Chain A
Amino acid sequence: MRFQYLQPASLQEAFSLLAQHSPQAKVMAGGTDLLVAMKMQKLSPSVVIGLSQIPEMAGVAYDSSSKAIRIGALATHQEVSSSSAILEKFSHLAGAASLVGSRQVRNLGTTVGNICNASPSAETAPALLTVEAVVNIAGPTGTRQVAIGDFFTGPGRTVVGGDEIVTEVTIPDPEPNSAGAYIKLSPRRAMDLAVVGVAVFLSVRNGVCDKARVALGAVAPTPIRVPDAEAILSGEAVNDNLLEQAAQAAMKACRPISDVRSSAEYRREMVGVLVKRAIREALGRSRNQEGD
C-alpha cells in the first residue's frame, strides 16, 4: 500500500484535486473498505483524497425547513445508529447501521461510504431503499440528486462519475404511522456479512396497510426493491394469504448466487421466510403507533 494522501479543506478543493489526479485517485471517507482493499492490493490508487477535513460533510441532522434527515458523507455508522431523528422515524435504518462490522468499524466507517462501495450485501442499502432516500452527488459543474433506487448499477458500481463526490443522503419525512423492520441473516451475530438482508417500511391507516416498501440485500447484483410485493400489500388488510403472496413475489424477484456464504436456493427460501417476518414486525409497530 503506497499512495499520496491529500486532505482538501473544501469541496471545491476536492474537485480540483480529483480532476488533477483522476483516474488514479480514490475518494476516502471512513476508509474501512478502501484501506482493506488497498492492503489486499485489489485497488492501488496513487492518490487518496480524504474528505475528513470538509466540515459540511459531517454529521446527521434533521432539517425542519425541508422536512428531511440529512446524512453527511462523513457520518459514521455509529452516528447513524444513534441519531435520535433516525431512531424516531426510521428505526430499521438505525438498526441496520448498528449491525455493520464491529463497534471499532462503526466508529470509523460511514453509511454514505457503505452505499458508494455498492456491495450487493451493503448493510444499510435495503433500509435506505425503503425510505425514498435521495443521494446528493456533487461535481465540478453542480449538484444532482439521484433516487437511491437508481443509484446502484452493479456489484461495486454506481452512477457516480469519476469527477463526482457524494456529499450526503437525504431522507424525507415518512407518512404518519409508518414503521419499518430490517432483518439480517448471517451465521454470526457480529463481524459478518449478510447472507440475506430484508428491509420493510410501511404505513398503516385505519388498521389497513397504506403504503408498503420491500427491499432485499445480498440476493441480486445490487440491493433491490420488490415492487410486486409492495403492490400486494398496499391498500390491504394484510392477512396470512397476502403475506404468503408478498413472500412469493420477493422470492421471484431475487436473483441470488451461490457462494462461500450460502447456496442460491437457501438464499431464495430465506427471502420468503424473512420477508413475511419483516412485514409482520413492521405492521405491528405501525399499528402500535396508530393505536397510541
Chain B
Amino acid sequence: MKERIALLVNSEEYVVDVEPYWTLLDVLRREIGLTGTKKGCDSGDCGACTVLMDGKAVDSCLVLAVAAQGKSILTIEGLARDEKLHPLQEAFIEYGAIQCGYCTSGMILSAKALLDENPHPTEEEIRKGIAGNLCRCTGYAKIVEAISAVAEGK
C-alpha cells in the first residue's frame, strides 16, 4: 500500500506517494522527474545512481525512498547555482572527462563528497574516492585530471 512521504531534494520538499519497496533512485527519476541520476546495475556495483544523503555519497538504488525521509538529498540537478555550473561540472567539460555521460552524474557527486571531506586529495585518494563509479569510456585519466584541477583551484 502506498504511503505519502516528503523528501528533501536539492533543498526543495517533494511530497510523493510511494510503495514501501520503491528505491530512492526510482522515486527520484519516475515520481519526481529528476532523471539526472542514472540507473545502471541497480545493485550497488556501478555507482551511476550516486547521490549525496546528508553529505555522504550513497548508491540511491540501495536506499528505500521511505527510509530517505528526513535526510537532505543532493542530486546532480542541485549542483548548479543561478544558471552557473558547479566547478566540478565545468572541469569535467573542460578536461574532456565526459564521453557518453552515463557515469557523469554519479562521478561528479562522488568527487564532490571526496573534496568536501578532503579538499586537497592525492591522485591515489581521488582514484579511491571514485572507485565505486564505473566509467566504460574515458579510462578514468581525464576524470582524475578534472577532479585534480578543481582541487588545485585551476
Count, A-B residue pairs, CB within 8 A: 79
Interface residues on A, range: 20 to 34
Contact between chains at B20 and A4 (CB < 8 Å): yes
Main secondary structure of the interface of A (DSSP, over half): loop
Report the Cα distance A39→B45, complex, angstroms: 13
Report the Cα distance A52→B64, complex, angstroms: 12
Q: A103-B110, A104-B110 are in contact. Are A31 and B132 (CB under 8 A)?
A: no
A32 contact from B19, B44, B47, Cβ within 8 A: B44
* In the complex, chain B residues whose CB is within 8 Å of the CB of A103: 57, 110, 113, 128-129, 131-132
Q: A103-B110, A103-B129, A103-B132 are in contact. Are A31 and B62 (CB under 8 A)?
A: yes
Report the Cα distance A71→B123, complex, angstroms: 32
- A172 located at the interface, meaning its Cβ lies under 8 Å from any Cβ of chain B in the complex: no
Contact between chains at A31 and B63 (CB < 8 Å): yes
Identify which of residues 23-60 in chain B touch chain A, using a CB-to-CB cut-off of 8 Å. Answer: 23, 42-45, 47, 50, 53, 56-59
* In the complex, chain A residues whose CB is within 8 Å of the CB of B43: 36, 39-40
Contact between chains at A104 and B128 (CB < 8 Å): no
Contact between chains at B66 and A5 (CB < 8 Å): yes
- B67 located at the interface, meaning its Cβ lies under 8 Å from any Cβ of chain A in the complex: yes
CB distance from B110 to the nearest CB of A (A): 7
* In the complex, chain B residues whose CB is within 8 Å of the CB of A191: 45, 131-132
Contact between chains at B62 and A36 (CB < 8 Å): yes
- B21 located at the interface, meaning its Cβ lies under 8 Å from any Cβ of chain A in the complex: yes
CB distance from B137 to the nearest CB of A (A): 18
Contact between chains at A102 and B131 (CB < 8 Å): yes
CB distance from A221 to the nearest CB of B (A): 25
* In the complex, chain B residues whose CB is within 8 Å of the CB of A189: 131
Contact between chains at B129 and A39 (CB < 8 Å): no
- A43 located at the interface, meaning its Cβ lies under 8 Å from any Cβ of chain B in the complex: no
Q: A4-B20, A5-B20, A103-B110 are in contact. Are A36 and B132 (CB under 8 A)?
A: no
* In the complex, chain B residues whose CB is within 8 Å of the CB of A3: 20-21
- A58 located at the interface, meaning its Cβ lies under 8 Å from any Cβ of chain B in the complex: no
Report the Cα distance A190→B127, complex, angstroms: 10
Q: Which chain B residue shows the least CB distance to A105? A: B44
Q: Which chain B residue shows the least CB distance to A102? A: B132
CB distance from B25 to the nearest CB of A (A): 11
Q: Which chain A residue shows the least CB distance to B133? A: A102
B62 contact from A4, A32, A50, Cβ within 8 A: A32
* In the complex, chain B residues whose CB is within 8 Å of the CB of A101: 44, 132
* In the complex, chain A residues whose CB is within 8 Å of the CB of B44: 32, 35-36, 101-102, 104-105
Contact between chains at B67 and A107 (CB < 8 Å): no
Identify which of residues 90-113 in chain A touch chain B, using a CB-to-CB cut-off of 8 Å. Answer: 101-105, 107-108
Interface residues, chain A, with chain B CB atoms under 8 Å away: 1-5, 7, 31-32, 35-36, 38-40, 48, 50, 52, 78, 101-105, 107-108, 189-191
* A to B CB contacts below 8 Å, 18 in the list: A1-B21, A5-B20, A5-B66, A7-B66, A31-B63, A35-B64, A39-B42, A78-B56, A102-B47, A102-B132, A103-B132, A104-B58, A105-B62, A107-B53, A107-B58, A108-B63, A190-B131, A190-B132
Interface residues, chain B, with chain A CB atoms under 8 Å away: 19-21, 23, 42-45, 47, 50, 53, 56-59, 61-64, 66-67, 110, 113, 128-129, 131-133
Beyond contacts A102-B131, A107-B57: 18 other A-B pairs, Cβ-Cβ < 8 A, are: A2-B21, A5-B66, A31-B63, A31-B64, A32-B62, A35-B23, A38-B21, A48-B20, A52-B67, A102-B44, A104-B47, A104-B57, A105-B132, A107-B53, A107-B56, A108-B58, A108-B59, A108-B62
